[in-house]
């Protein structure tokens, strides 16, 4: 097969990426069992260039290939028809470049034209539709859910998004900044800013210091801990176990207030910049972080024990919203949700991040239901706290290092990619530069891009009243998807 093999966080020359015939590429993709992590078009003079990145998770390799699509080509044979993992990617490509995948099983709008969206419908006795959104009951982002129900039971859920679409990818080319990267998806500030900064550093050929790398990873794990704890509370809130909701809620406050002490923002805004980080963690602060996290761990352990002993909680969590491993694999579910379905993907380990290689990769006994999504969070909180402590210890070895290195210019004709395991899962940023060294394309794939469809599958054949519980368990991003 015709691919250029690269690693995570690497820059390659655009000209090194093989360009094959569109039909050949299509056939290759339909046949391979490597999963796609990026699939996007880019304006190429008069024509369009289609880039594809596949992941070989076992080897930690990323395989890049491309095809030049003549501007006169207006349709092609869909890949998704043979390989469902391309279903969203092809819809997106069609929306952005108007090249139609023929025989695509589910060709619907992604972020635009909601007025023309045709919902799946069914008829019969006891069948009815429930439409929810875009504005939901709580303080959350907008999206539209259309349930096809038979009585109380959900037969199908269709999710129409796009309400948050701000045009981020174009804006990233026009006016890139760390602040913009942080605001693409404000619950994953660190993950997004880290991916953006890493891509830009690669494109400029900058090597940042060990200290900066460590501080970034400490923040990334803190983000995971904070959001996971908040989510445990939110899940319990949705099944009216208020004690748990409040205890996890205030415990999360401790973590984000520690983030505030590091960076001046509860979500770590302003911490990461292209070239390194803006704030240091000195020994005193480091001790404080360890103390706080010890307390947090203690509370989380206690609360989780009490929660899982409660039969009312367990009866709601267990066997609710099942997604089998087969379905999860077919849909290419990633990240924490993937792991809760038994798919052992974790880009921190799969793509050989040197900082994680010493850590033991503990297995997780997935039960594929709401309980599994609760337990995986608990496991990851405890794990991340351990990682943070180890990183903090390592910080002492590089006390004298600079936080931030000098900025450089972008290197022309480059292609760079960065995958960061945010708390939701693999976040992929890809950028290219043109012959003059300007950004020419910026592509983002949030883990939610893969996982929204998983939520639809989870609620099938469940009571509609279990939807909030399933939704919180997935806790997917609207703005990360809509961009």
Partner 1 sequence: MFDTLKMKLYQKKQYIPDIKNAPMRSQFRGLPVLDNSNCDKCGMCKGICPTGALNINPLSIDLSKCTLCGACKNICKNNSINFSSYYKLGVDKKEKLIVTEGLDSETYHKRAIEVRKEIYSIFNRSIKFRQVSAGGCNGCEMELNAAGNANFDMGRFGIDFVASPRHADGIVITGPITKNMAYALEDCYKSTPEPRIVVLCGACALSGGVFQEANEINREFLDKYKVDLYIPGCPVHPLTFINAVLDFIRKK
Binding residues for partner 1, rule: CB under 8 A, are 111-112, 114, 134-135, 137-142, 162-168, 170-171, 174-175, 177-180, 183-187, 189, 230, 243, 246-247, 249-250, 253, 257, 260-267, 269-270, 273, 278, 299, 302-303, 305-306, 309-310, 477-479
Min CB(195)–partner 1 separation in Å: 15
Min CB(183)–ligand SF4 separation in Å: 3
Task: Quickly count helices (H) and strands (E) in the chain.
Answer: 16, 16
* Alpha carbons 273 and 278: distance in angstroms, whole number: 7
Q: Which long-range contacts (CB under 8 A, 24 or more apart) does 41-44 make?
A: 41/69, 41/93, 41/96, 41/97, 41/99, 42/432, 42/440, 42/441, 43/440, 43/441, 44/68
* Alpha carbons 130 and 147: distance in angstroms, whole number: 5
Residue 135 phi/psi, 5-degree rounding, is: -85, 125
Q: Which of 57, 60, 66 is nearest to 13 (CA)?
A: 66
Pair 195, 420: CB distance under 8 Å:
yes
Looking at the Cβ atoms of 105 and 167, the one nearer to partner 1 is: 167
**Residues within window 166-205 making contact with ligand SF4, judged by CB under 6 A:** 183, 186
Min CB(406)–partner 1 separation in Å: 13
| DSSP 8-state class, residue 47 | E
Instruction: Using CB under 6 A, count the residues that bind ligand SF4.
Output: 2
The item of partner 1, ligand SF4, none sharing an interface with residue 247, based on CB under 5 to 8 Å by kind, is partner 1
**Residues within window 400-419 making contact with ligand SF4, judged by CB under 6 A:** none
Min CB(207)–ligand SF4 separation in Å: 26
The item of ligand SF4, partner 1, none sharing an interface with residue 243, based on CB under 5 to 8 Å by kind, is partner 1
The item of partner 1, ligand SF4, none sharing an interface with residue 468, based on CB under 5 to 8 Å by kind, is none
The closest residue (CB) to ligand SF4 is 183
Residues in Cβ contact with 454 at an 8 Å cutoff, skipping those fewer than 6 apart: 323, 327, 328, 331, 333, 337, 341, 474
Q: Which of 268, 285, 281, 88 is nearest to 193 (CA)?
A: 268
CA Rg, the chain, in Å?
Answer: 22
Min CB(167)–ligand SF4 separation in Å: 14
The item of partner 1, ligand SF4, none sharing an interface with residue 59, based on CB under 5 to 8 Å by kind, is none
Cβ atoms within 10 A of the Cβ of 395, count? 20
Looking at the Cβ atoms of 339 and 424, the one nearer to ligand SF4 is: 424
Min CB(124)–partner 1 separation in Å: 31
- Give me the torsion for CA of 246, 249, 250, 253, rounded to 10°: -170
Min CB(177)–partner 1 separation in Å: 4
**Residues within window 144-163 making contact with ligand SF4, judged by CB under 6 A:** none
* Alpha carbons 127 and 155: distance in angstroms, whole number: 9
Q: Which of 284, 290, 295, 289 is nearest to 268 (CA)?
A: 289
Pair 79, 30: CB distance under 8 Å:
yes
The item of partner 1, ligand SF4, none sharing an interface with residue 135, based on CB under 5 to 8 Å by kind, is partner 1
Min CB(193)–ligand SF4 separation in Å: 12
> Is the peptide bond between 134 and the residue preceding it cis, with omega within 30 degrees of 0?
yes
Min CB(188)–ligand SF4 separation in Å: 12
| 361 Cα distance to chain centroid | 20
The item of ligand SF4, partner 1, none sharing an interface with residue 162, based on CB under 5 to 8 Å by kind, is partner 1
* Alpha carbons 48 and 30: distance in angstroms, whole number: 21
Looking at the Cβ atoms of 378 and 478, the one nearer to ligand SF4 is: 478
265 contacts ligand SF4 (rule: CB under 6 A): no
The item of partner 1, ligand SF4, none sharing an interface with residue 443, based on CB under 5 to 8 Å by kind, is none
Looking at the Cβ atoms of 140 and 352, the one nearer to partner 1 is: 140
Min CB(140)–ligand SF4 separation in Å: 13
The item of partner 1, ligand SF4, none sharing an interface with residue 13, based on CB under 5 to 8 Å by kind, is none
Residues lying near ligand SF4 in the complex (CB under 6 A): 183, 186
């Amino acid at each position: 097969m015709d691919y250029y093999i690269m690693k995570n966080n690497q820059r390659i020359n655009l000209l090194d990426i093989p360009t094959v015939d569109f039909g050949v590429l299509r056939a290759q993709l339909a046949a391979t069992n490597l999963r796609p992590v990026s699939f996007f078009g880019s304006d190429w003079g008069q024509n369009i260039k289609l880039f594809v990145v596949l992941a070989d998770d076992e080897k930690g390799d990323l395989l890049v290939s491309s095809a030049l699509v003549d501007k006169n080509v207006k349709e092609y044979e869909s890949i998704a028809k043979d390989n469902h993992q391309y279903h969203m990617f092809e819809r997106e490509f069609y929306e952005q470049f108007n090249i139609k995948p023929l025989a695509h099983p589910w060709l619907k709008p992604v972020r635009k034209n909601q007025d023309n969206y045709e919902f799946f419908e069914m008829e019969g006795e006891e069948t009815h539709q429930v439409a929810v959104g875009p504005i939901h009951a709580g303080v959350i982002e907008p999206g539209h859910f259309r349930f096809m129900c038979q009585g109380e039971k959900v037969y199908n859920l269709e999710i129409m998004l796009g309400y948050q679409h701000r045009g981020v990818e174009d804006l990233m080319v026009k006016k890139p900044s760390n602040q913009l990267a942080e605001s693409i998806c404000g619950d994953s500030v660190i993950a997004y800013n880290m991916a953006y900064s890493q891509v830009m550093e690669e494109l400029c050929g900058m090597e940042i210091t060990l200290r900066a790398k460590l501080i970034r990873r400490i923040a990334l794990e803190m983000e995971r801990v904070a959001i996971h704890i908040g989510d445990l509370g939110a899940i319990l809130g949705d099944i009216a176990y208020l004690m748990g909701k409040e205890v996890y809620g205030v415990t999360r406050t401790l973590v984000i207030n520690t983030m505030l002490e590091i960076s001046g923002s509860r979500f770590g805004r302003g911490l990461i910049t292209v070239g390194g980080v803006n704030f240091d963690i000195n020994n005193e602060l480091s001790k404080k972080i360890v103390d706080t996290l010890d307390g947090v761990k203690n509370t989380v352990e206690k609360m989780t024990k009490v929660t899982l002993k409660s039969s009312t909680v367990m009866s709601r969590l267990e066997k609710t919203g099942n997604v089998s491993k087969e379905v999860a694999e077919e849909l290419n579910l990633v990240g924490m949700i993937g792991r809760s379905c038994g798919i052992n993907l974790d880009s921190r380990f799969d793509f050989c991040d040197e900082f994680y290689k010493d850590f033991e990769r503990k297995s997780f006994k997935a039960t594929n239901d709401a309980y599994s999504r609760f337990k995986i969070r608990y496991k990851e909180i405890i794990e991340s706290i351990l990682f943070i402590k180890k990183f903090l210890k390592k910080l002492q070895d590089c006390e004298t290092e600079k936080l931030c290195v000098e900025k450089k210019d972008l290197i022309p004709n480059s292609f760079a990619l960065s995958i960061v395991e945010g708390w939701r899962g693999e976040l992929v940023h890809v950028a290219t530069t043109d012959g003059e060294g300007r950004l020419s394309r910026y592509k983002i794939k949030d883990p939610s891009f893969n996982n929204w469809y998983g939520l639809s599958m989870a609620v099938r054949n469940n009571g509609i009243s279990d939807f909030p519980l399933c939704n919180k368990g997935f806790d997917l991003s609207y703005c990360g998807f809509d961009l």
